């Protein structure tokens, strides 16, 4: 518009024709220098983060005022032209007036468009980088073309005005050729690279930020499928993303099923834990009407259900059986095998057999149909309450710890027999021990002595003996509680790898004096 108005005025003043190389040079220069100066400024503002405050909405109330000013400007131009060149108002002023009004109407039409305020730093996009490259190349090409034109026409002795018109023309043509090439290249880039990448970026961000219960992957597939038809790297990326989203959706569906299955198994394990806990004696004191002894026990499984167990029961009015055992393995299989072993030991003991005979029979029955190859370490003692005499048998279990009323705890060392369910035809050797009032029997599984801390150090038998000696005056329940607290303090944050089971029996009084001196 400015070039046309200047050409119109120059023709009015008799400087040059409107349709001339001078007007053409003005047109190209106004166009080129706006781009050469405007694009770097816009990019600089974007990169440096300079705030640009613009009107967020167009003010349509000033449309009439601006149209009036445009009309006044045209009338002044008409009057000036008519004064200088009478008769020139036939074509060009009318064309200029129509152009100005068209331009004003195009800008100030009530389109309702909202202009946003742009603040903050924005990294250079791929298009902006390419624009800068082409601008630099265009400037270099224009400078080379202008320099060549200047020396060529200067050597021909061209007039100054004609010389610079030709130089400007060559520079402008060179710049516009580069602008045309850059526009074509940018169009190709936008069509095949930047726009598809922007679409992939938007849909990726949408997919990553979607935290709803049902992930909307249909939009991702819908956006990426057309892009995947392109035979370019962007197409490969779109196809890979479609496959990734489909695989992720399948994974999420499978994860939902697995989670539901784990919740179901967890609920069943909770039931199994309660069933197992109910099978072990858990009411203490267990025999409140028996004043001859005090008894307590506890089990802390490493998993939801464990393979350790303890048991105690009266065989008759004068015999008390105590059992502690550890089934190989963990979890449900060990718990089921534990139930079988516990039931068999109790059934065989209540028939009145000796401790050795009980283990002989239980071993044979456990070896039958033991396809999983499980085995049991166990310790069984049958106490004659009236005399304090105990018969015991050890099937590969940890040695018990016994304390006399005036002494310290000591391990009852005896070569143990083979584990239960390990081999058929095994016969177990029985040992005996005589208890006095005040003596304590402490039974445990390897989960106590083999507890580890974060440094992978074992709790050990020495530490167990020390904590027992420090608390030998307390009741069995308190003794077990303090040992458990010491084990937990030793382990710290280390996970529990094995079941921790303990049983403590303290002799309070006897009804018969047929006892030999205790140890």
DSSP assignment of 197-218 equals HHHHHHHHHHHHH--SSS---H
Q: What is the pLDDT of residue 278?
A: 80
Lowest mean pLDDT among 95-104, 231-240, 345-354, 428-437: 95-104
Mean pLDDT for the stretch of residues 390-419? 93
CB 228 within 8 A of CB 235: yes
Lowest mean pLDDT among 303-317, 472-486, 495-509: 303-317
Phi, psi of 480 (to 5 degrees): -65, -40
CB 443 within 8 A of CB 322: yes
Sign of CA dihedral 345, 350, 351, 352: positive
Q: What is the pLDDT of residue 150?
A: 74
Output the 3-class SS for 11-59.
HHCCCCCCCCHHHHHHHHHHHHHHHHHHHHHHHHHHHHCCCECCCCECC
Task: Give the model's confidence band at 111: pLDDT under 50 very low, under 70 low, under 90 confident, else very high.
Answer: very low
Task: Give the model's confidence band at 56: pLDDT under 50 very low, under 70 low, under 90 confident, else very high.
Answer: very low
Distance CA 50, CA 196 (A): 29
Residue 93 in this model has a pLDDT that exceeds 70: no
Q: Which of 69-78, 109-118, 228-237, 385-394 holds the top average pLDDT?
A: 385-394
pLDDT > 70: percent of the chain: 69
pTM of the model: 0.57
Cis amide bond preceding 285, omega within 30: yes
**Which residue would you say has higher pLDDT here, 79 or 297?**
297
Q: What is the pLDDT of residue 519?
A: 33
- For 58, 116, 118, 237, the CA distances from 112, given in Å and listed in that order, are 7, 13, 19, 38
Q: Give the three-class secondary structure for 516.
A: coil
Q: What is the dihedral of CA 370, 346, 432, 516, to 10 degrees?
A: 170
| Cα–Cα nearest to 391, from 430, 418, 417, 443 | 430
CB proximity list for 116: less than 8 A, separation 6 or greater: 54, 56
Task: Give the model's confidence band at 490: pLDDT under 50 very low, under 70 low, under 90 confident, else very high.
Answer: very high
DSSP string, 438-495: T-EEEEE-HHHHT-B-TT--B-HHHHHHHHHHHTTTS-HHHHHHHHHHHHHHHHTTSP
Q: What is the pLDDT of residue 279?
A: 84
- Partnered with residue 377 across adjacent β-strands are 326
DSSP string, 395-445: ESPPPPEEE-TTS-EEE-----BPPBTSSTT----EEEEE--TT-EEEEE-
pLDDT per position as a tens digit, 182-195: 778 878 877 777 77
**Which residue would you say has higher pLDDT here, 110 or 419?**
419
Angle, helix 233-279 to helix 195-209, in steps of 10 degrees: 10
Q: Which of 89-98, 165-174, 315-324 holds the top average pLDDT?
A: 315-324
Distance CA 288, CA 502 (A): 20
pLDDT per position as a tens digit, 215-264: 566 777 777 877 777 777 778 888 888 888 888 888 888 998 999 988 88
- For 161, 457, 490, 494, 500, the CA distances from 452, given in Å and listed in that order, are 98, 5, 8, 7, 12
The distance from CA 201 to its chain's CA centroid, rounded to whole angstroms, is 21
DSSP string, 131-171: HHHHHHHHHHHHHHHHHHHHHHHHHTT--HHHHHHHHHHHH
Q: What is the pLDDT of residue 268?
A: 77
Q: What is the pLDDT of residue 136?
A: 76
pLDDT per position as a tens digit, 285-334: 899 999 999 999 999 887 766 678 999 999 999 999 999 999 987 777 88
Task: Give the model's confidence band at 360: pLDDT under 50 very low, under 70 low, under 90 confident, else very high.
Answer: very high
Q: What is the pLDDT of residue 291?
A: 92
CB 301 within 8 A of CB 476: no
Angle, helix 63-84 to helix 2-12, in steps of 10 degrees: 30
**Which residue would you say has higher pLDDT here, 189 or 387?**
387
Distance CA 335, CA 328 (A): 10
Distance CA 63, CA 57 (A): 14
Domain 285-507 superfamily per CATH = PPM-type phosphatase domain (3.60.40.10)
Mean pLDDT for the stretch of residues 373-395? 96
Q: What is the pLDDT of residue 484?
A: 96
Distance CA 513, CA 403 (A): 20
Locate the domains of the chain by residue range.
2-52+117-207, 211-279, 285-507
- Partnered with residue 510 across adjacent β-strands are none
Task: Give the model's confidence band at 7: pLDDT under 50 very low, under 70 low, under 90 confident, else very high.
Answer: low
Task: Give the model's confidence band at 132: pLDDT under 50 very low, under 70 low, under 90 confident, else very high.
Answer: confident
């Amino acid at each position: 518009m400015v070039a046309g108005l200047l050409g119109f005025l120059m023709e009015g003043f008799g400087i040059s024709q409107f349709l001339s190389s001078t007007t053409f040079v003005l047109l190209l220069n106004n166009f080129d220098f706006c781009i050469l100066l405007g694009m770097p400024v816009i990019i600089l503002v974007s990169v440096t983060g300079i705030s640009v405050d613009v009107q967020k909405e167009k003010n349509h109330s000033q449309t009439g005022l601006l149209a009036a000013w445009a009309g006044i400007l045209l009338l002044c131009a008409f009057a000036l032209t008519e004064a200088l060149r009478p008769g020139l108002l036939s074509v060009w002023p009318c064309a200029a007036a129509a152009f100005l009004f068209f331009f004003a109407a195009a800008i100030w039409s009530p389109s309702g468009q909202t202009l946003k305020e742009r603040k903050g730093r924005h990294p250079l996009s791929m298009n902006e980088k390419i624009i800068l490259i082409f601008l630099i190349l265009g400037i270099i090409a224009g400078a080379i073309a202008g320099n060549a034109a200047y020396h060529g026409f200067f050597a021909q002795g061209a007039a100054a005005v004609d010389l610079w018109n030709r130089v400007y023309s060559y520079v402008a043509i060179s710049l516009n050729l580069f602008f045309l090439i850059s526009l074509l290249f940018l169009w190709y880039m936008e069509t095949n690279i930047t726009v598809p990448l922007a679409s992939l970026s938007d849909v990726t961000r949408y997919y990553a930020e979607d935290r709803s219960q049902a992930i909307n992957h249909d939009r991702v597939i819908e956006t990426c499928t057309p892009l995947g038809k392109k035979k370019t790297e962007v197409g490969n990326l779109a196809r890979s993303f479609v496959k990734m989203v489909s695989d992720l959706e399948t994974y999420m569906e499978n994860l939902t099923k697995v989670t539901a299955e784990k919740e179901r198994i967890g609920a069943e394990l909770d039931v199994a834990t309660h069933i197992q806990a109910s099978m072990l004696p858990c009411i203490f004191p267990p025999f409140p009407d028996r004043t001859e002894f005090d008894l307590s026990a506890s089990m802390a499984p490493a998993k939801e259900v464990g393979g350790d167990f303890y048991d105690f029961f009266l065989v008759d009015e004068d015999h008390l059986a105590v059992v502690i055992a550890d089934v190989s393995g963990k979890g449900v299989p060990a718990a089921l095998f534990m139930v079988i072993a516990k039931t068999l030991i109790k059934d065989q003991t209540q028939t009145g057999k000796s401790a050795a005979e009980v283990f002989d029979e239980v071993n044979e029955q456990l070896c039958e149909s033991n396809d999983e190859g499980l085995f049991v370490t166990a310790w069984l003692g049958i106490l004659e309450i009236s005399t304090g005499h105990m018969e015991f048998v050890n099937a590969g279990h940890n040695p018990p710890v016994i304390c006399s009323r005036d002494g310290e705890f000591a391990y009852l060392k005896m070569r143990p027999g083979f584990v239960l369910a390990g081999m058929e035809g095994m016969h177990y050797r029985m040992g005996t021990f005589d208890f006095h009032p005040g003596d304590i029997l402490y039974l445990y599984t390897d989960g106590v002595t083999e507890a580890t801390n974060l440094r992978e150090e074992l709790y050990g038998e020495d530490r167990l003996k020390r904590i027992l000696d420090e608390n030998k005056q307390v009741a069995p329940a308190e003794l077990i509680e303090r040992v458990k607290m010491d084990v937990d303090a030793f382990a710290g944050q280390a996970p529990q790898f094995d079941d921790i089971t303990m049983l403590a029996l303290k002799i309070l009084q006897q009804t018969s004096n047929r006892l030999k001196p205790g140890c």
